[in-house]
Amino acid sequence: MALKLGSHVSIAKGLLGAAKEAASYGSNTFMIYTGAPQNTRRAPLENMKIEEGKAFMKEHGIDDIVVHAPYIVNLASYKPHIYELGISFLTNEIQRAQALGANYIVLHPGAYTDRDVDYGLQRIAHALNQILQQESDLFICLETMAGKGTEIGRNFEELASIIEKVEKNDKIGVCFDTCHTHDSGYDIVHDFDGVMEEFDRVIGLDRLKVFHLNGSLNPRGARKDRHANIDADETNPRGKDYIGFETLHKIVHHPVAQNKPLILETPWLDATTNLYKEEIAMLREPR
């Protein structure tokens, strides 16, 4: 059993900078956006210190890294320019992610805005069918979502429905976000095994490729999506965690999580301070 634990890190100083940041937290994996999460402008790969980054990762036992697609990609959009931008961006992102040595692209399925869920599910599957025309080794991992607004992926059934509509779906995986599933109503705190059984029944555990480890600022079912620091109490500037260390520690050491990238996306305390190093050490420790 091998634990692959890390966090989101910055790519501003290239793959080498990202890998160094990850090592400084005691990570053996990490997640990056290939540029700003809010837009689709991307620096040329030549500037990303890829070879140096890969050498550093090898030396420090870091691997199995994850790319997160930007939030503005919306494959459920009925607006042609947004939809087409999403498809062309992700088609290129597969190339970029492979060049960086990533094995997974995590993607928010999309939001149906003025249409309905069925429209959104069809639209996303249609886009994925186009994107997956190119052969690649990496998995596009649909993220479980909190269910705020019109976002799709708020339950396992919606993700399963997208997957079954995609023809070449052997490269579609799922990213399980602890904050999002808790916020959408799954009882990961009292019955994580039951939630995993349900996942297996509806989607199939072989699709589960990546975890996002976050606390939640809201009670189960709140459909909010606001991440908390692990086990934070009211004295934390960001607020109290409703999921808690016990649950996240149990998930990290659960058989389903072994050999999969487990990525923290917990909040920064202020502009210069995060708790990644402390949170990773806490979670790594066996009990």
Per CB under 5 A, residues contacting Zn ion are: 225
Residue nearest to Fe ion as judged by C-beta position: 212
Partner that binds at residue 231, options Fe ion, Zn ion, none, CB closer than 5 to 8 Å by kind: none
Choice between 141 and 166, CB closer to Zn ion:
141
Measured from each CB, the residue nearest to Zn ion is 225
Minimum CB distance to Zn ion, residue 243 (Å) = 13
Would you say 209 or 212 has its CB closer to Fe ion? 212
Closest approach, Cβ 274 to Zn ion, in A, equals: 16
Site residues (vs Fe ion, CB under 5 A) = 143, 177, 212
**Could you tell me the smallest distance in angstroms from the CB atom of residue 106 to Fe ion?**
6
Tokens of 62: 């870091």
CB 4 within 8 A of CB 259: yes
3-state percent breakdown (helix, strand, coil) of the chain, nearest 5: 40, 15, 45
Residue with smaller CB distance to Fe ion, 20 or 74: 74
CA neighbours within 13 Å on the CB side: how many for 262? 25
Q: Which of 211, 146, 213, 224 is nearest to 173 (CA)?
A: 211
CA–CA gap between residue 175 and residue 207 (Å, rounded): 9
Binding site partner of 225, from Zn ion, Fe ion, none, Cβ cut-off 5-8 A by kind = Zn ion
Could you give the CA distance from residue 36 to residue 47 in angstroms, rounded to a whole number?
15
Q: Which is nearer to Zn ion, 37 or 194 (CB)?
A: 37
